[in-house]
Structure 1
Amino acid sequence: MGTELVALHWVYLIFIFLILGVMVMRRDTTLVCIVGIFVIGLIVKGSITSSIIGIFNSLIYAITELVGTILVISIIVAMSKVLAETGINETMISPFTKLMKNPSLAYWTVGLLMMIISWFFWPSPAVALIGVVLLPAAVKAGLPALGVAMVMNLFGHGIALSSDFIIQGAPKLTADGAGIPVGSVISASVPLIVVMGIVTTVTAFYILKRDMKKGILKVEGNAKDYKEQNNKKGEMSIILKRVFAVVVPILFLLDVVAMYTNDLRGGDATALIGGTAAFILIVLSMVKDKKSGLENITAYLVEGLQFGFRVFGPVIPIAAFFYLGDSGLIKVFGEVLPSGSHGIVNDLGLALANTVPLNSAIGAITTAGVGAITGLDGSGFSGISLAGSVAKLFGTAIGRGTATLTALGQVAAIWVGGGTLIPWAVIPVAAICDVDPFELVRRNIIPVVIGMVATIIAAIIII
């Protein structure tokens, strides 16, 4: 590994399990995260004052990393409010309502559209592109908002992001780590993505339908909210509603074209969607409210920002802690790791790889474990190069299967951290659907774990 595990690594690992345990118990994790940051600061700095300063700086770092997502979600929410108040939203979704005749059709329609758009432009812009339109249609069809969030998350941040067939950012990183061609990783990932995708989404669908049938998960509250929103019509003629119902999707479609022609990805693509939403908000507010439009633009934005920070508030402390597992530690506390360290999370992943015997079954399980552990920092991408390196280690020792192991590590890291099992990684979907991100993660756990077990078995067979 180039460095031994020190007290810092073990303390970080202990707090990971504490946080996961608190989440499983459905309790708030803020206290555990803040204490964890303080203890880490005390270990690396040996000063109570520096540790207290580190708590604040780690929160600032987390907010800085998340502010782009907070802002674009806030603007989208503000725009959505205007669309709902004017009735444009209802006019715009009517074609999708005809397609989504029941919860089952809504589930698979939303999922497939989310997957296709995410392949081309990554999930975060896709959430903003289709969430506003498809969420009300799906809820009206009888699919709870939490179910909509699940399907968008699993198909977008799960299947599409972990495969990344079009943009190829993920396979490029893992291929470089393993020292093999990108094409080899993509080819090897196809059967694994198919197994992971089918098992996970079908399992989630079964659990969702079961809980709806038992009355555990209900749609009435969300349907009522949408009904109330759609009854608050602004002063706008039917003709104008129909015009804007056509213009708004066209503007977002033009965004899609611009993303493709200008090769916009990630943050730039999200910013384009956010800027377009801001433009739509301004125009609609001026048309709807006329003389009071100037003031109402600000009011809508403030309301959107209040929503954004209300949703992100509980997530910022836990994000602040897990960011310390990667580059956040240096940003907050400086160069405090031993020489040769690759970051706390990567060191733990590499230590795991170095403590198990080498054969195909253990190789697949360990590579997936390393990927999952590196995904705990919430990005899904920071550790996949390490997953590729570990895959090469096992592939070389076994004498085969390097590409398959590399793809498996990629799938595990991104499904966990990219992601479907880390609360702040699901924030965009949770915010658009107005559901609790922690509850969304809890809903995702069983399908994703079952899917991962099936995928590991498939990898062992292929190797």
Structure 2
Amino acid sequence: MNVELSALHSIYLVFIVLIIGFMIKRLDTTLISILGIFIISIVATENLTSSISGIFNSFIFAITELLPTILIISIIVAMSRVMTKTGINETMVAPFTRIIKNPTLAYWTIGILMMIISWFFWPSPAVALLGAVLLPVAIRAGLPALGVAMAMNLFGHGIALSSDFVIQGAPKLTADAAGIPVGDVVAASIPLVITMGIVTTVIAFIMLKRDMKKGNLALVGTHSRQIEQEKVENLLSISQRKFFAFLIPVAFLVDVAAMAAFDLQGGDATALVGGTAVFILLLLCMSAHKKKGLEESTNYLIQGFQFGFKVFGPVIPIAAFFYLGDAGFNTILGDYLPETSHGIVNDLGVALASVVPLTKEIAVITLTGVGAITGLDGSGFSGISLVGSIGNLFGTAIGEGTATLTALGQIAAIWIGGGTLIPWALIPAAAICNVSPFELARRNLVPVIIGLLVTTIVAVFLI
């Protein structure tokens, strides 16, 4: 498991610390991210022209990786705008107002629904399915848009994605790397997932309620005001609004059934939701705008894309930097890492594991640390095979606990990188709720860190 660390690894680590520091201080990270890309490029290539080109190529790589998320958000936003303008949103959410009566009910209801749907279809499609419908209901009940984003994010990209009990994509990757049955990882993860989930969501809710009482949170998201300023126009009759308010949820329920019937997961499930949203957008435009429906549908799409890229604008540079830590390095710059390297982030994780003594207390701390480090690339999944192999190494060394160690590392990696702390990974929930992904990341920071600390302590007693 020994790896050769180079100056690139040290530079990358320094800029990780700087970026995290900038985020904590609420400073913009674009400049520091671009500077990091340039310095890594020039150290790796020793060529000024290639280094300057590397900045642009890293942006292209980041946009390519993020494009599916940009598209689904843009399309959902475009559809939401025409729904808001025609008053369909108000008609659709009316029944939910009878159930969600206060901020507490809104937070926990949205969170639990998000978790259940995410277990079956992963979080991105779940955000698209729930966000547009339940956000207005929650806001009317008094839960700020940021609170809705936190609920969807923590329960979906946190609890559901890190456990992955149904689809079992994450447990299979870690189990294969650890050389143990996937069922062992799933079973070992249950108490850890419960601990992490309860601690994180409860602390997040307590902090949210505290800030609501102080009046520190705007009720409506203000990351982009365009959507909230849209006024209802008399484009549809009451009966038409009711018809579409019924048709749209049914269409998405059919999507859910299709996902289950045809085993559509991840990107395929997101694509189905996105395609359905496009058809709904076209149908609403033609019904509401009649002869102007063709040009209005294009206008709505343009507005959706403007919103999507406005949200992603500050994210692309920082994403481009972190993608250099994984598979993006060779694509962007070429084969300049040592032959023994498995990517900068994974190398750092292996190095951490190789310099600590082998006791169960140190083992659980190390697996949490390795998982967190490998999650910094924002995918959550790129480093969990490494986590599995290190879990096997430590489990073999101490004579027990391989499954628990592997599950712990998996939870740390996905909670950090899968969408609760890395800003570009949590963009789906932030964009749907019209809040800043960086503000959402800051709000999640304390609950997630405390949750990881408590879960790490619990893991010691489970080994």
TM-score by shorter chain over 0.5: yes
Residue 324 of structure 2 corresponds to which residue in structure 1? Answer: 324
Inter-partner Cα distance in structure 2 for 1:341 and 1:62: 21
Residue 184 of structure 2 corresponds to which residue in structure 1? Answer: 184
**1:104-115 to 2 correspondences below 5 Å:** 104-115=104-115
Q: Encode CA deviations 1:425-446: one digit per residue, 9 max, x unaligned.
A: 0011111000000000000000
Inter-partner Cα distance in structure 1 for 2:41 and 2:226: 46
Inter-partner Cα distance in structure 1 for 2:61 and 2:405: 34
Q: 1:228 to 1:25 in 2, by over 3 A?
A: closer
What's the offset of the Cα at 1:98?
1.0
Amino acid of the residue matched to residue 322 of structure 1? F
Amino acid of the residue matched to residue 242 of structure 1? K
Residue 238 of structure 2 corresponds to which residue in structure 1? Answer: 238
Q: Is the 8 A contact 1:2 1:341 kept in 2?
A: no
What's the offset of the Cα at 1:97?
1.1
Scaled by the length of structure 2, the TM-score of the pair is 0.98
Q: Is the 8 A contact 1:84 1:229 kept in 2?
A: no
Inter-partner Cα distance in structure 2 for 1:49 and 1:144: 48
Which segment drifts farther, 338-347 or 227-236? 227-236
Q: Is the 8 A contact 1:90 1:230 kept in 2?
A: no
Q: Encode CA deviations 1:213-234: one digit per residue, 9 max, x unaligned.
A: 1111231677xx7996675134
Residue 88 of structure 2 corresponds to which residue in structure 1? Answer: 88
Residue 202 of structure 1 corresponds to which residue in structure 2? Answer: 202
Amino acid of the residue matched to residue 250 of structure 2? I
Residue 337 of structure 1 corresponds to which residue in structure 2? Answer: 337
Q: Is the 8 A contact 1:185 1:407 kept in 2?
A: yes
Q: Is the 8 A contact 2:171 2:182 kept in 1?
A: yes
Report whether the alignment pairs 1:419 with 2:395: no
Residue 304 of structure 1 corresponds to which residue in structure 2? Answer: 304
Residue 10 of structure 1 corresponds to which residue in structure 2? Answer: 10
Inter-partner Cα distance in structure 2 for 1:108 and 1:276: 28
Any gaps of 5 or more consecutive residues in structure 1? none
Amino acid of the residue matched to residue 38 of structure 1? F
Q: 1:58 to 1:135 in 2, by over 3 A?
A: same
Residue 149 of structure 1 corresponds to which residue in structure 2? Answer: 149
Residue 27 of structure 2 corresponds to which residue in structure 1? Answer: 27
Residue 460 of structure 1 corresponds to which residue in structure 2? Answer: 460
**1:22-171 to 2 correspondences below 5 Å:** 22-171=22-171
Inter-partner Cα distance in structure 1 for 2:430 and 2:294: 30
Inter-partner Cα distance in structure 1 for 2:220 and 2:157: 27
Any gaps of 5 or more consecutive residues in structure 2? none
Q: Encode CA deviations 1:140-193: one digit per residue, 9 max, x unaligned.
A: 100000010001000000000000000000000000111000000000000000
User: What's the secondary structure of 1:382's corresponding residue?
Assistant: coil
Q: Is the 8 A contact 1:87 1:230 kept in 2?
A: no
Q: Is the 8 A contact 2:145 2:434 kept in 1?
A: yes
Q: 1:109 to 1:230 in 2, by over 3 A?
A: farther
Inter-partner Cα distance in structure 2 for 1:244 and 1:178: 50
Residue 386 of structure 1 corresponds to which residue in structure 2? Answer: 386
Report whether the alignment pairs 1:436 with 2:415: no
Scaled by the length of structure 1, the TM-score of the pair is 0.98
Amino acid of the residue matched to residue 261 of structure 1? A
Amino acid of the residue matched to residue 134 of structure 1? L
User: What's the secondary structure of 1:424's corresponding residue?
Assistant: coil
Residue 273 of structure 2 corresponds to which residue in structure 1? Answer: 273
> C-alpha root-mean-square deviation of aligned residues, in Å?
1.3
Q: Encode CA deviations 1:52-71: one digit per residue, 9 max, x unaligned.
A: 00000000000011111101
Amino acid of the residue matched to residue 79 of structure 1? M
User: What's the secondary structure of 1:303's corresponding residue?
Assistant: helix
Inter-partner Cα distance in structure 1 for 2:457 and 2:118: 27
What's the offset of the Cα at 1:394?
0.9
Q: Encode CA deviations 1:362-383: one digit per residue, 9 max, x unaligned.
A: 0000001000000000000000
Inter-partner Cα distance in structure 1 for 2:356 and 2:227: 57
